[in-house]
Amino acid sequence: MIMPDISLTMLVVLCLAAGAAGWIDAVVGGGGLLLLPAMLLGLPHVPAAHILGTNKAVAIVGTSGAAVTYLRKAPVEVRTAVRIGLAALAGSMAGAFFAAGISSEVLRPVIMVVLLGVAAFVLLRPSFGGTRAGGPVTRARTVTAIVLVGGGIGFYDGLFGPGTGTFLVLALTAVLHLDLVTASATAKIVNVCTNGGALAMFAYQGTVLWQLAALMAVFNLAGGMIGARMALRKGSEFVRGVLLVVVFSLVAKLAFDQWTA
């Protein structure tokens, strides 16, 4: 499919949405909550598969830029992050395989309850993710992160999807005892792996609008790098605040989807 017929105004709106989504993704994940609805509304005549494929082409650029920015200053264990990313890639493929047999109307209420529980935990535990626990990460925790965080959240991403980046940050903080900034940095590397796998499949199927994606990716990259720098500069308390906003926004979106369904 070639570049769709789109007005200059809508093109500007989509580019700004891509920039904002890149910023959100870099800080705490969840940029797709903004970008996907914007593309669905702005490109009503474009098939959903092309929207999803183009979104991945845009997102992987911003995520990669944010990952590089984090790696320059955040103490990220790249080897562990890549292992988790590969497990997440495998998990997402398995989740996608089972997705056809699962009703989203059943999953939405469950995820909303989980997210509200997460929000309550973060609010009641102000120290959560504030500092990294001392000492090296044990082998047991690394294996747990690969299997449960990578495989489990990857499976959820393929099965349902919304909020995957946010769940990654929270799970990495809890399992590996990372501070929220380092968890966000690690999550970006995991996201690059999963986005790369998904993009390869979409590209193979020919469902990527490359011209539109290239333009939006510039803004997504800028937003991602700005977001990563702000997270590094302002620290975990800033990330915690953005995290709560994203969690409540995700709950609101899921509730709206459930109500309209």
**Residue 87: pLDDT above 80?**
yes
Q: Alpha-carbon dihedral of residues 71, 72, 76, 82, nearest 10 degrees?
A: 30
pLDDT band at 236 (very low <50, low <70, confident <90, very high): confident
Report whether pLDDT(230) > 60. Answer: yes
Which structural domain range is residue 141 located in?
A: 8-260
Please tell me the distance from the alpha carbon of residue 192 to that of residue 172, in angstroms, as a whole number: 16
In a domain, 2, yes or no: no
Q: Give the pLDDT confidence of 103-157 residue by residue, as tens digits.
A: 656 667 877 777 787 778 777 776 656 665 555 667 888 898 899 889 998 888 7
What is the C-alpha R_g of the chain? Answer: 17
Contacts of 88 (CB under 8 A, 6+ apart): 149, 150, 151, 153, 154, 157, 168, 190, 193, 194
Residue 84 lies inside a defined structural domain of this protein: yes
Task: Note whether residue 3 is domain-resident.
Answer: no
Q: What is the 8-class DSSP label of residue 129?
A: T
What is the average pLDDT score of the chain? 83
In a domain, 119, yes or no: yes
What is the pLDDT at residue 129?
A: 61
Identify whether 1 is part of a domain.
no
Within a domain: 228: yes
Q: What's the pLDDT band for 173 if we cut at 50, 70, 90?
A: confident
| Domain tally, the chain | 1
Task: Calculate mean pLDDT across residues 33-37.
Answer: 81
Query: Does residue 144 fall inside a structural domain?
Result: yes
User: What is residue 61's predicted lDDT score, i.e. its pLDDT?
Assistant: 94
Per-residue model confidence (pLDDT) at position 13: 92
Q: Is the pLDDT of residue 100 over 60?
A: no
* Closest CA relative to residue 72, chosen from 232, 202, 195: 232
- Residue 131 in any domain: the answer is yes
Considering only residues 211 and 3, tell me which one the structure prediction assigns the higher pLDDT.
Answer: 211
Mean pLDDT within 200-209: 86
Q: What pLDDT, on a 0 to 100 scale, did the predictor assign at position 62?
A: 92
Mean pLDDT of 222-238: 89
- Weakest-pLDDT range from 60-64, 104-108, 221-225, 246-250: 104-108
pLDDT tens-digit readout, 240-257: 788 788 778 878 877 887
